Every structure is written in structure tokens, then in C-alpha cells.
Amino acid sequence: MRAKANLQILEADIQVAVTAGIEQLKARGDYVEYARGEHYQAVPGVLSAGEETENGGVQLFYLYPEEFGDIYAKRKRRETETAVRKVVSLLQPKKNATASKVGWIWVIRGQPGCVGP
């Protein structure tokens, strides 16, 4: 439960950092404005966020890792913590696991299997 709360806090921190980055870019006019129906340009490895304009277009803000490294570090930490949580959940016996003479029966990804004596 505590790990889930930490992950939610990290998600909120990322969202706050992205919002602050957008405001920073908006203040200096550093965005690309796309007209309604125009295709957006994706930059590989660069986080982008957009806001709809009054005329139905989009202002797209590119948050480059060189300038917004803290966002990328937090996202990496989130990925790592999520992966660790998945591994831990796979290693924990399910609540409906039953004991037998052979050992605990665990269900991993829907496949029953015997683990240890």
C-alpha cells in the first residue's frame, strides 16, 4: 500500500513538473502552434504536451531532456518502481494459494505451478 502511495506521489510530481515546464515555455513563446487538422510533429525521445487554442488548433510544447532533465529522471524512477512492484507481486503467493505436501502452489500470470517444498 505504501509503495502505491509513493507511486501516486511521484505521478503527481511529474504532472506538476510538466505543467511548470509548459508555463515556462509558454511565457517565452517557445511552442509550435498547429492549425485544426494539421498533423503534429513528434520528436523521438522528447516529451510533448499540448493545449487547445480558441480556434481549435493546438499549441504543442516540446520538453527537451537537456532543459527538463528532472522530468525525465522522475519518469525513469516511475518506470523502475513500477517494474519492481510487478516483480514483487509475481513473487508473492496469491491469497487463494493452497499448501500441499509438495509446497506452496503459486499462480503466476494465470499458470499454476509448484514452488519449493
Give the per-residue pLDDT at 3. 73
Q: Model pTM greater than 0.75?
A: no
Locate the domains of the chain by residue range: 2-115
Q: Are 87 and 3 in contact (CB under 8 A)?
A: no
Q: Are 102 and 117 in contact (CB under 8 A)?
A: yes
Q: What is the pLDDT along the chain (117 residues), one digit of tens a residue?
A: 677 888 889 899 999 999 999 999 999 999 999 999 999 888 999 999 999 999 999 999 999 999 999 999 999 999 988 888 888 888 877 665 554 444 444 444 444 444 444
CA dist 93 and 90 (Å) reads: 8
Give the per-residue pLDDT at 105. 46
Q: Are 57 and 33 in contact (CB under 8 A)?
A: yes
Residue identified by cell 522528447 is 46
